[in-house]
Amino acid sequence: MTTISDDPVVNNDVNGRPPNVVDRYFKRRYKIDMQNKVGEDAMVLSHSNRVCVVCLADSHPVLKEKKTVTKVSFESAKWNRMDNKFSGKNKRGAQWLDVNSPLCEVTCSDGSVYTICCCVKGQLIEVNENLINHPELVMRKPCGEGYLAVLLPGLKGFEREMLQLKSQEEYQEVLASRAADQT
């Protein structure tokens, strides 16, 4: 007989609601200090089928400082993620990206520009083209409609890629350490 726990942490959030899709089906992992820039963190949502969704972490300056995002670009003079074309079960033709490969550039109203990296080595499956016309989604719904891209790490390298990212607990420790350093 299956029993459901009364503990809200197990089945529901603190308000008694069931977990959202992200919390239910994805494991949160974090890439901290992208390109050695302190605080420029990204979150990778990894599913049990190896699909990874790249989003901005709450500690990234865009979200932390509540900046107004005016533009999200998936292309520059050196790279173009919009040219990604693939076919078939094996995603033949998809762009293979490295951990530090640029994924997109996020421009804010204060003139700041952030280059967001892939965070995991794998095939680029999709970029969120909705962000081109609605860049504010990055700020409003960073884990949902404001995701940046979907990647598929190689079968053999998936575990290695996930080990290079920080867990939720390790990420919280990094944030606590940063806060202690600021005081």
Domain ranges of the chain: 20-165
**52 is written with which tokens?**
């990874």
In the predicted model, is pLDDT for residue 21 greater than 90? no
* pTM of the model as a whole: 0.84
What does the block give as tokens for 22? 């992200």
| Mean pLDDT score, 102-129 | 94
pLDDT value of position 111: 96
Please report, for residues 5, 75, 158, 181, the alpha-carbon distance to residue 79 in angstroms, rounded to integers and kept in the order given.
50, 6, 24, 36
What integer pLDDT is reported at residue 90 of this predicted model? 58
Q: Is the pLDDT of residue 3 over 50?
A: no
80, 74 Cβ separation under 8 angstroms: yes
Tell me the C-alpha distance between 27 and 162, whole Å.
10
Q: Give the pLDDT score at 13.
A: 59
Task: Give the architecture (CATH level 2) of 20-165.
Answer: Beta Barrel (2.40)
53-67, 92-106, 120-134: lowest mean pLDDT where? 92-106
Give 54 or 180, the one with higher predicted confidence. 54
pLDDT at 2: 40
Beta bridge partners of 52: 46, 151
How far apart, in whole angstroms, are the C-alpha atoms of residue 174 and residue 167? 10
Q: What is the pLDDT of residues 54-82, one digit of tens each?
A: 999 999 999 999 999 999 999 988 888 88
Number of Cα atoms under 13 Å in the Cβ half of residue 30? 20
Which residue is it, tokens 């999200």? 72
Q: Which residues contact 21 (CB under 8 A, 6 or more apart)?
A: none
Determine the Cα–Cα distance for residues 45 and 60; give it in Å rounded to an integer: 16
Residue 4, pLDDT score? 42
State the average pLDDT over residues 110-125. 94
Query: What is the average per-residue pLDDT within 75-99?
Result: 78
Question: Closest Cα partner for 52 from 40, 44, 60, 42?
Answer: 44
